Structure 1
């Protein structure tokens, strides 16, 4: 490409803008629904739709296991999947800092292409803006997704019931730990890779096993602990966790021990919290362990009627402790 970095001319609407769109975005996002017009014309699903929008400002934009492009697809696709919705369409808006390397932008677009293909979602329209140096940190991406809710599935944070098993689909806190180590110089040598992944296939496999599901939630910003507090409040139930059952990668556990962090509050980008009746739990876990991103799925607790709105954890030495409610600045910022 003629220009090695993004310039203000690339955002001015003229020839350079057209070249940027054609040579980077259209080259990677081409499909029969992608439009060059002002809006995409789409065929709506016959049933209910789910729609979700998410903004991504992760720093650094490139990290072990992914980059902001992959993250922008996963984040929105996973939000749709958590409503039992098959992702159909995606729009994306870029705000790019003047001087951002074109090679890096191409790498981001390639990651989005690959992840969208895996998720089965079509990128149908978008927008590109170029901001002056220092106005944004490299590149920001906003994606909006639309999906078709599978018939017979109704899930939501207000639907947890006493007696439900609480399932996580794999080890927790890995994305947050990865970003923290990439961003800060702690002098810690730990081999940690983000769990960033598109999870529609995982949700579809679970729904093919049973429609008797109450809650599906992806544990992103704030991690599993924050998600559990949100659901406890929405459903007016208590949460009882077994600390020994919570899967945490040894490297993540070690970093958290050194820095005084709780893995339950570190972000995930490829993990779900599922709540379903106990009689369904073993079958769900068995299904999850056959899926690419959930081999370490585990039952970590149960929903109870006592102490509504609170999360209580049985520690590894057998005592009960109230998990502190998250507040203030959650570290690290991951989106």
Structure 2
């Protein structure tokens, strides 16, 4: 008997099922590109190299501590362009609105988008609106496309990653995931953790302006820090060893994870960047990060231990001195987190 395969919520979680869906459905139909697992694709205009990124936001709940779906849509698009070494310039937005959605809530979301765009220095230049019958959109969904300019002096090159390079994260991990879970009020979790939702382009531009040893950057959103680094290891064939005691995690995020059985390494972040940097420049990178409010908790969390492997590996050195291998997020952790 033929079993009909169907999409599950886990296919949208950013882990192993998402990877298979992209590989077996979308890449099979549309083909791959040079960007691999980067967050934007590149194309050439007549005079400049440009980057483009598109994303859809379906976070539940729409309003959460530290932001809302509108702020998230703008900052997420800005960050996807920025971590690829692009200067974000323009964004288009599309709204799918459920019949009955409060107009006041829509105005608040749209105003937050305008405010975040102004903060990030980008322009919202075009958009589209669709309204669907009640029960068909869960309130509000937002799609964005962002375009940025790739500056020659900012170009990142994964092929330059070398053994001994440092892995740095710009701050505490898991804040967004725990904030969203608490805002749902489904498990009785009470916490003051707010989402780290923020546009990081100013911070990233300072890093790229002052350092020439940044090899690669990503923002560890769906699937968290572990999934993001695993994908880089797999795509670019190097091995990363993380020091668990060096990874910054808020005490209340640790506490929530202990209660709920979650691993903060796999929780979503919406205002952090993880980067691979020439070891000789790690101290300067930390100095730049720590002078910025979005980078004050930055830490060196690991290093590249080998390069040019047929298949890369992500390893975690535990406080007791053992080492375990990390993989993509498997299954469903937190659905609808972005």
**Partner of 1:214: helix, strand, or coil?**
strand
Shift of residue 211, structure 1, vs aligned partner: 2.3
- CA positional deviation for 1:326: 2.0
Asked if structure 1 preserves the Cα contact closer than 8 Å seen for 2:231 and 2:328, the reply is no
Count how many residue pairs are aligned between Structure 1 and Structure 2.
292
Matches within 5 A, 1:113-192: 113-155=114-156, 160-192=161-193
What is the CA–CA distance in structure 2 between the aligned matches of 1:160 and 1:180, rounded to whole Å?
36
Question: Where does residue 326 of structure 2 map in the other structure?
Answer: 323
Q: Residue 195 of structure 1 corresponds to which residue in structure 2?
A: 196
**Aligned-residue CA RMSD (Å):** 1.6
Would the alpha carbon gap of residues 106 and 315 (structure 1) be closer, same or farther in structure 2, given more than 3 Å must change?
A: same
Q: Aligned runs of 1:3-42 on 2, under 5 Å?
A: none
How far apart, in 2, do the equivalents of 1:333 and 1:132 lie?
21
Counterpart for residue 253 of structure 1: 254
1:265-284 mapped onto 2 (5 Å cutoff): 265-284=266-285
Closer/same/farther in 2, CA of residues 156 and 251 from structure 1, 3 Å limit? farther
1:324, CA displacement in angstroms? 4.1
User: Residues 225-240 of structure 1 correspond to what in structure 2 (within 5 A)?
Assistant: 225-240=226-241
Report the Cα distance in structure 1 between the residues aligned to 2:162 and 2:143, rounded to whole angstroms: 34
Q: CA deviation at 1:317?
A: 2.1
Q: CA deviation at 1:188?
A: 2.4
TM-score normalised over the length of structure 2: 0.83
Q: What is the distance in 1 between the residues matched to 2:99 and 2:105?
A: 13
Which ranges in structure 1 are unaligned for 5 or more consecutive residues? 1-43
The structure 2 residue matched to 1:313, chosen from 286, 309, 316, is 316
Query: Residue 23 of structure 1 corresponds to which residue in structure 2?
Result: none
Offset at 1:159? 5.2
Counterpart in the other structure of 1:51: 52
Cα gap change, 1:268 to 1:257, in 2 (>3 Å): same
Q: Distance in 1 between matches of 2:62 and 2:162?
A: 39
Larger radius of gyration: 1
1:79 & 1:45 partners in 2: Cα distance?
Answer: 23
Task: Report the equivalent of 1:87.
Answer: 88
Q: 1:256 to 1:48 in 2, by over 3 A?
A: same
Tell me the CA shift for residue 187 of structure 1. Answer: 1.9
Structure 1 SS opposite 2:312: coil
Residue 138 to residue 105, structure 1, CA distance change in 2 (3 Å): same
Aligned-pair distance for 1:323?
Answer: 2.3
Where 1:141 maps in the other structure, the secondary structure is strand
Cα drift, residue 46 of structure 1: 4.5
Please state how far the C-alpha of 1:182 moved relative to its aligned partner: 1.5
Q: Secondary structure at the match of 1:326?
A: coil
Q: TM-score, normalised by structure 1?
A: 0.84
Answer yes or no: is the 8 Å Cα contact 1:45–1:148 preserved in 2.
Answer: no
Aligned partners of 1:156, 1:231: CA distance in 2, in Å?
A: 12
> For residues 45 and 278 of structure 1, what CA distance do their matches in structure 2 show?
37
Tell whether the 8 Å contact from 2:223 to 2:328 is kept in structure 1 after alignment: no
The equivalent of 1:19 in structure 2 is none
Moved more, 199-208 or 311-320: 311-320
What is the CA–CA distance in structure 2 between the aligned matches of 1:261 and 1:94, rounded to whole Å?
32
